[in-house]
Amino acid sequence: MQQELRFATFNVCNLAPPGVKLYDNLLPTTRKEYEAKLDWTAHQIDLLDADVIGFQEIFSQATLREVLARTRRYREAFHAGFDPDPAALRLTPSVALVSRLPLVVPAQPMKDFPHGIELPQGSRDAARFTRAPLHAIVQVSPDVAVDVIVVHLKSRRPDYRTGDTGEDPALYALACLRSLIRRGTEAAALRVLLTEMGRANRRPRVVLGDFNDVADSVTTGIVLGAGAPMADRLYDASEVQRRADHVRHLGFSCVHEGHYSTIDHILVSEEFNAALPSAIGEVVEVLYLNDHLDLALPEASDHGQVLARIRLFDESHGLRDGGV
């Protein structure tokens, strides 16, 4: 049985075919830029060497498949994802999952909020995620399957209404507030869905993704279920890792205006928190691949990648209280 599991999250930053117009303020990539981005992304995926990777900002699943074809380790991996809705008013990226472990059933998008949760009246897509999370069930051992959910919550980018500009401080503030409300509502919807999933299936859960906020923010705290019953809660892998060194810890996944922060997270359920009696494994270590952020490579993502190593306990060999 495989004793170590490796989960990773990777915001690839606008993975799309060359020549496609994604945003008004962003030029389409040239063929040369496209080739460089695919090569860099494939190399980074191989560096992660994870069993399961959650991806964000995928504008084309076919482009992701081309990236996987350039890797050494993932050419035969399972790939699950869905393209943005071509009929949508705005072109919105989606998420994806790649797994070297088998999927129990085909992965499914979670498009709709649960009953009772919706955005304020007048909001567009008031009862749906802007970028639908993706749910997969991964068979990690003959006896253990894990619910894996890939997420990408609403960004902090101001949500302007038609005709608004950032020149008016009141309009700017209201646009930022609308983004926060949407991200908070998506976090609440995700929290309910994760709780229902845990109660219905009683399987370990791992949530991978870009939360667009730090671990101790209100919105990320909602997803974690801070204050909820222990069985319903999730735990930040970086906080429960065995090898945490808070003095030398250099984990960050984003650099904005000189400020280093982590907005890409891996959350685990009680089954992978070694401090709890129900644990069947532990987070050994959380690693960050982020050198490219300081190097400012043009072909690289603007996010660092996060990797969590999880060791399954083997009671028959007395490994629970032993070394790694």
Give the burial string for 81-97 (b: 16+ CB within 10 Å, else e). Answer: bbebeeeeeeebbbbbb
Provide CB contacts within 8 A for 14, sequence distance 6+: 22, 26, 57, 59, 93
Q: What is the pLDDT of residue 318?
A: 43
Phi then psi for 270, rounded to 5 degrees? -55, -25
The low-confidence residues of the chain, meaning pLDDT below 70, are 1-2, 89, 244-250, 254-259, 315-324
The SS3 call for residue 189 is helix
Contact indicator for 188, 154 with CB cutoff of 8 Å: no
pLDDT at 3: 87
Q: Please give the pLDDT value at position 246.
A: 55
Question: Could you read off the pLDDT of 64-97 as tens digits, one per residue?
Answer: 999 999 999 999 999 999 987 777 767 889 999 9
Nearest to 225 by CA among 251, 194, 185, 250: 194
**pLDDT given at position 255:** 66
Q: How many residues does the chain have?
A: 324
- In three-state secondary structure terms, 298 is coil
Question: What pLDDT score does 268 carry?
Answer: 98
Copy the structure tokens of residue 84: 């943005």
For residues 204 and 141, give the distance between their C-alpha atoms in angstroms, rounded to a whole number.
12
- Please say whether the beta carbons of 288 and 255 come within 8 A: no
CA distance to 3, 37, 151, 208, 278, per residue, from 205 (Å): 17, 31, 13, 10, 13
* pTM higher than 0.85: yes
